[in-house]
Amino acid sequence: MHSYARVYMDSTLFFVLGILGFSLATENFHWGYHGDSGPFYWEQHFKGCAGKSQSPIDIPREDAEYAEHLGFIQFNGYSDLRVHTLKNNGHSLQVDVSGDSFIEGGGLEGLYKVSQFHFHWGRRSDRGSEHTFDGTAFPMEMHIVHYKTEYGSINEALNKSDGLAVLGFMFKVTPFGSVFFFEKFLKKLADVKYSGESTHTSPMRLADMLPIPWQNLQYFRYNGSLTTPPCNEVAIWTVFTRSIFISELQLQQFRKLYANEKSSKSFERISDNFRPVQPLNNRRILRNF
């Protein structure tokens, strides 16, 4: 990160939009998704965002290489992984979880623990996801963030090239969506309407949101970065081919969230909170199928 005369860091380390982000501002810059604070300007203030292994990317499905060693990801404790706290951090909806849940296998070297998950969505349903398949975007994408347990904490993992393992799930619009999970989940969004607000939830299993069945899923794999500043290149990405269902009405609940605090004089909805796809730069995209 470049050095500046005045740098303010929010006291809370939080994860946003892609993988992980810090609430960072300089005297003249506070990153966002629109206008002169948008992704095109990030690399001028955060040198990591100009790296050669950035995320997200477009995934050309037919050109991805089959890798026999990948196999299926093993989900340990996911059936007991509970949604705990919802937060509006001004950039996205972040969801903290409770319980000890891990992933391993699938070509991952070591054990990775779940930290949180968050969402990216579009103002309209023809866009919203960060990753694309053959140039086609999805209306929303969810990232489940894990850190490598041998590093002890997410903070330490952010300094390691294999520190994070992130699972990416695309959403597909259907007439009724995922009624079982989202009807409970979406009712809580009214409590986090404004930036900085958070709320606890009644017990909800994350597994109930995932595609059915959520074991033995096909996926793409590549090495990349956080998709928000400071864009550290520390992420092993797993992007699944099977989508999660959501309805237009359910998507509208996400689009009602504000990027501003409740005390603000003006308000802007959180919308199109995705980074455009980045150059592949000769990286390999693998698949397990």
CATH no. for residue 23?
Answer: 3.10.200.10
Q: Where are the beta strands (DSSP E) in 4-151?
A: 7-9, 24-26, 58-59, 65-66, 73-76, 82-88, 93-98, 102-105, 108-121, 132-133, 140-148
One pLDDT digit (tens) per residue for the chain, 289 residues: 443 333 333 333 344 333 444 433 444 678 999 999 999 999 999 999 999 999 999 999 999 999 999 999 999 998 888 888 999 999 999 999 988 899 999 999 999 999 999 999 999 999 999 999 999 999 999 999 999 999 999 999 999 999 999 999 999 999 987 766 777 889 999 999 999 999 998 878 888 888 877 788 999 999 999 999 999 999 999 999 999 999 999 999 999 999 999 999 999 999 999 999 999 999 999 999 9
Count of domains forming the chain: 1
- Residue 196: left (phi > 0), alpha (psi -120 to 50), or beta? left
**Does a structural domain hold residue 1?**
no
The per-residue pLDDT for 26 is 45
Annotated active-site residue 30? The verdict is no
Domain that holds residue 60: 7-287
**Does a structural domain hold residue 188?**
yes
Annotated active-site residue 151? The verdict is yes
**Does a structural domain hold residue 2?**
no
| Catalytic residue selected from 45, 91, 131, 146 | 91
**Does a structural domain hold residue 244?**
yes
The per-residue pLDDT for 199 is 96
The per-residue pLDDT for 28 is 61
Tell me the two tokens of residue 152.
């002890």
Q: CB-based contacts of 79: which residues, under 8 Å, 6+ apart? A: 205, 207
The per-residue pLDDT for 204 is 83
Number of neighbouring beta carbons within 10 Å of residue 259: 21
| Catalytic residue selected from 30, 41, 151, 194 | 151
Q: CB-based contacts of 213: which residues, under 8 Å, 6+ apart? A: none
In whole angstroms, what is the distance from residue 144 CA to residue 185 CA? 16
Contact 273, 203 (CB under 8 A): no
The per-residue pLDDT for 255 is 97
Radius of gyration of the chain (CA): 18
The per-residue pLDDT for 180 is 67
Tell me the two tokens of residue 216.
């033995």
**Does a structural domain hold residue 132?**
yes
**What's the pTM?**
0.90
**Bridge partners, residue 140, by sequence:** 121
In whole angstroms, what is the distance from residue 279 CA to residue 242 CA? 24
